[in-house]
Amino acid sequence: MLIAEAVRARFGQPLSYIIARKQREAAQHILQSILSLPERRVSGFVEQLSEAMMKPWSGLPILVLSLFLMYEFVGVLGAQTLVDFLEESVFGAYINPWVNQMLASFIPWSVVRDLLGGQYGVITLGVRYAVAIILPIVGTFFLAFSVIEDSGYLPRLAMLIDRIFKKIGLNGRAVIPMVLGFGCDTMATIVTRTLETRRERLISTMLLALAIPCSAQLGVMLGLMAGQPKLLVLWAIIVTGIFLLIGFLAARVIPGERPMFYMELPPLRLPTLGNIIVKTYTRMEWYFREVFPLFILASVIIWFGRLTGLFDVVVNALEPLVSWLGLPDETAVAFLFGFFRRDYGAAGLYDLRSTMNGVQLLVSTVTMTLFVPCIAQFSVTIKERGLKTALAIFAFIFPFAFLVGGLLNKLLVILGVTI
């Protein structure tokens, strides 16, 4: 200790700094005798592409293009083609009927039968959800994300977006959890760990819960608004606006250190197949260990809620709220299920789409997007941020989503807008 003190007193600067400096000088000394660098570096396609990604005018179109490609891969191939196959052809045609048949012939108590099978059972809903919906969506998403990650695009995107993110109390690095959120908000909430300050973790967790729809929800929503590009554009503008507005306000209200942005920009590279497979596999394995139990839990809660009649009470309580939004009463059920799985709420709206006009569709999709996180995301939020923070986020989002929906409805009605 004494020696450390004495050494510290000898130098005016932090010791770690002095040591780093000396190490660098030593390394430089060694390198000098063995390293020669070409005077001029060639500027090929890779350098030009890298440059284009960082210029705002070409960077934004590249971002839109990558999001579109990602949507085609995850939203169409994963969330539609593969999900349809696994849900309809595997679970719908073989597993569920088989489970239900076994239950019907071996278990005489309907309460237990409903826990395991039927419409909301642990196997028929919980396992089916995890394997038939989450597996293909999350699988394709992680695959796409690994490709993007290994290509070196993310740091360039982070630097492109840093100034905007600073306004909402985050720094460019937060694009990683935000982009992940479009895959699965639950996973993205866990990834907010990588942000440096408590303040950034809090703001990003809240924004993920509020305004970032996950791929499953997005898939159904896009189906819901398919063929109505005006509706889709309005929805995107409103949700983006709310994301920025709430982020901006949160940055003003929540105290803490200002965010700081620094990131290495590795050269752009073609990803190698082996790395991508290993990455995707480890992520999925980890994902299933963390999130799978929560789906089972959700099925048990749904079973319990229906068994005790608790759900009818909640649906009845939600009805005046949805009628304030100008929506049909049946949407209350969709909102309740939206808490158990985000896309399930959207799917509930999808079934009701023929009974709703354009304004109602817009109001309901906006409200559903903002509406509470799914139960898996909620429990991960408790784990990562603590119960108090999670409840506070919940207590903010729930009334806020309905407030925005209600005001949007009133505004559209007053203006006499028809979509």
Query: Which positions lie near another protein, rule CB under 8 A?
Result: 10-14, 16-17, 20-21, 24-25, 28, 54, 56, 155-156, 158-163, 166, 171-172, 257-258, 260-267
Burial 143-162 (b: 16+ CB within 10 A, else e): bbbbbbbbbbbbbbbbbbbb
Closest approach, Cβ 275 to another protein, in A, equals: 20
Closest approach, Cβ 201 to another protein, in A, equals: 16
Closest approach, Cβ 359 to another protein, in A, equals: 37
Report the residue number, 163 or 383, with the smaller CB distance to another protein: 163
Report the residue number, 61 or 386, with the smaller CB distance to another protein: 61
Smallest CA-to-CA distance from 223 within 350, 366, 388 is with 350
Q: Could you write out the three-class secondary structure of 149-204?
A: HHHCHHHHHHHHHHHHHHHCCCCHHHHHHHHHHCCCHHHHHHHHHHCCCHHHHHHH
Closest approach, Cβ 156 to another protein, in A, equals: 8
Report the residue number, 20 or 93, with the smaller CB distance to another protein: 20
Q: For residues 173 and 158, is the Cβ–Cβ distance under 8 A?
A: yes
Report the residue number, 24 or 269, with the smaller CB distance to another protein: 24
Smallest CA-to-CA distance from 340 within 141, 78, 119, 182 is with 119
Report the residue number, 31 or 226, with the smaller CB distance to another protein: 31
Q: Which amino acid is at 184?
A: C
Report the residue number, 157 or 242, with the smaller CB distance to another protein: 157
Check residue 268 and report its DSSP letter. P
> What is the spatial distance between Cα 334 and Cα 224, in angstroms, rounded to a whole number?
14
Closest approach, Cβ 181 to another protein, in A, equals: 22
Q: For residues 67 and 153, is the Cβ–Cβ distance under 8 A?
A: no
> What is the spatial distance between Cα 241 and Cα 254, in angstroms, rounded to a whole number?
20
Q: For residues 87 and 128, is the Cβ–Cβ distance under 8 A?
A: yes
Closest approach, Cβ 270 to another protein, in A, equals: 18
Closest approach, Cβ 162 to another protein, in A, equals: 5
SS3 35: coil
Which residues, 6 or more positions from 253, have their beta carbon under 8 angstroms from its beta carbon?
Answer: none
Report the residue number, 146 or 171, with the smaller CB distance to another protein: 171
